[in-house]
Amino acid sequence: MPDVTHEEWLRRAKGLDVSGAHHVDGADDPGGGAVFTLVSPRDGQALAQVADAGQAEVDLAVAAARRAFDSGPWPRLAPAERGRTLLRLADLLEERREELALTVSLEMGKPITDAYGIELRALIGTFRWYGQLADKLTDESPHTAPDALALVTREPAGVVGAVVPWNFPLTLAGWKVAPALAAGCTVVLKPSENAPLSGLLLGRLATEAGLPPGVLNVVSGNGPVAGRALGLHPDVDVLAFTGSTAVGRHFLRYSADSNLKRVWLELGGKSPNIILPDAPDLEQAAATAAWGIFFNQGEMCTAPSRLLVHSSVADQVTEAVVARARELRVGDPLDPATEMGALVTEAHLARVEDHIATGLGEGARLRAGGGRTLTGTGGSFLEPTVFDRVGPGMRLAREEIFGPVLSVLTFDDLDEAVRLANATEYGLAGAVWTSDLSTAHRVSRALRAGTVWVNCYEEGDLTVPFGGMKQSGNGRDKSAHALEKYTELKTTWIQL
Question: Catalytic: 266?
Answer: yes
Please answer whether residues 40 and 377 qualify as being in contact, where contact means their C-beta atoms are separated by less than 8 angstroms.
no
What is the C-alpha separation between 353 and 418, in angstroms, rounded?
Answer: 29
What is the C-alpha separation between 123 and 90, in angstroms, rounded?
Answer: 8
What is the C-alpha separation between 225 and 165, in angstroms, rounded?
Answer: 15
CA gyration radius, the chain:
23
Q: Assign 309 to helix, strand or coil.
A: strand
Neighbours of 232 (CB within 10 A): 19
Pairing of strands 451-454, 262-266: unpaired
> Which of these is catalytic: 185, 301, 353, 383?
301
Q: Find residue 366's DSSP bridge partners.
A: 387
CA 116 to chain centre: 16
CA distances, 491 to each of 134, 150, 166, 238, 360 (Å) = 21, 7, 39, 20, 59
Q: In this structure, which long-range contacts are made by residues 91-95, counting pairs with CB atoms below 8 Å and at least 24 apart in sequence?
A: 91/209, 92/205, 92/208, 92/209, 93/120, 93/123, 93/124, 93/127, 93/202, 93/205, 94/124
Q: Which of 120, 129, 118, 78 is nearest to 95 (CA)?
A: 120
Question: Catalytic: 416?
Answer: no
Q: Helices then strands (H, E): number in the chain?
A: 16, 20
Task: Read off the DSSP letter of residue 26.
Answer: T
Q: Assign 106 to helix, strand or coil.
A: helix
Please answer whether residues 284 and 308 qualify as being in contact, where contact means their C-beta atoms are separated by less than 8 angstroms.
no
> Which of these is catalytic: 99, 266, 299, 484?
266
Which residues, at least 6 apart from 156, have a Cβ–Cβ distance to it below 8 Å? 69, 75, 183, 184, 185, 486, 487, 488
Please answer whether residues 413 and 393 qualify as being in contact, where contact means their C-beta atoms are separated by less than 8 angstroms.
no
> Which amino acids are annotated catalytic?
266, 301
